[in-house]
Chain A
Amino acid sequence: DSGVTQTPKHLITATGQRVTLRCSPRSGDLSVYWYQQSLDQGLQFLIQYYNGEERAKGNILERFSAQQFPDLHSELNLSSLELGDSALYFCASSVEGTTDTQYFGPGTRLTVL
């Protein structure tokens, strides 16, 4: 158990819908990262937040957004969902960033029908 929790574990929804994925980092970790794992793209970095502020952006679509709240939990919002958004979404956390290990949560499996 990494100490990073993600809810829900599974999510099935329809095209055009909007969903919210939630992540709680390990106690004391200030950085939260979101990654997407799909069969065709592999594991890709989406976005990072540090202590409530966006710090880095990767291959995140404009239909996707994220935020980190004062209690340091983070949410990833996916809207206007398409079939191709079906994937495993991982959250990771670290104390700060530079050489610190990123600890991964168990992931949320999103299926868009």
Chain B
Amino acid sequence: AQSVTQLGSHVSVSEGALVLLRCNYSSSVPPYLFWYVQYPNQGLQLLLKYTSAATLVKGINGFEAEFKKSETSFHLTKPSAHMSDAAEYFCAVRPQGAQKLVFGQGTRLTINP
């Protein structure tokens, strides 16, 4: 079964620093990949998605992710962290032919002033 692994359950960065959240997927066929963000006491909001078009995907709030087939990775980055970026981030995969999402365990991002 396809799965995603998010490296690091907690990531802490300083305001203005680079944000890098790691996601690796397991699949022999490139799946569709997603990053969602969950703010406290809220639902999940889509940041960006990869559906086999451009490998560099730009999302909302200045986030982007690069699909690297050779590394089976889909890491999320943002050049400069803002305090408002503090949240939990989930990487998800939609296996080919399926419609459900398979989520990683999540990474809690903390921003230090």
Per-residue contact bits, chain A 10-54, to B (CB 8 Å; 1 contact, 0 not): 000000000000000000000101010000001111001000000
Per-residue contact bits, chain A 43-80, to B (CB 8 Å; 1 contact, 0 not): 11100100000011010000000000000000000000
* Interface size counted on chain A using CB atoms at 8 A: 26
CB contact under 8 A between A99 and B32, given known A31-B99, A42-B103:
yes
Q: Is B55 an interface residue (CB 8 A)?
A: no
Provide the residues of chain A in CB contact with B32, threshold 8 Å: 99
B43 touches A104 (CB 8 A): yes
Question: Helix, strand, loop or mixed for chain A's interface?
Answer: strand
Provide the residues of chain A in CB contact with B102, threshold 8 Å: 45
CB contact under 8 A between A101 and B44, given known A33-B100, A43-B103:
no
Q: List A67-109 residues whose CB lies under 8 Å from chain B.
A: 90, 92, 94, 97-99, 101-107
Give the interface of A toward B (CB within 8 A). 2, 4, 31, 33, 35, 42-45, 48, 55-56, 58, 90, 92, 94, 97-99, 101-107
Give the interface of B toward A (CB within 8 A). 32, 34, 36, 42-46, 49, 51, 90, 92, 98-106
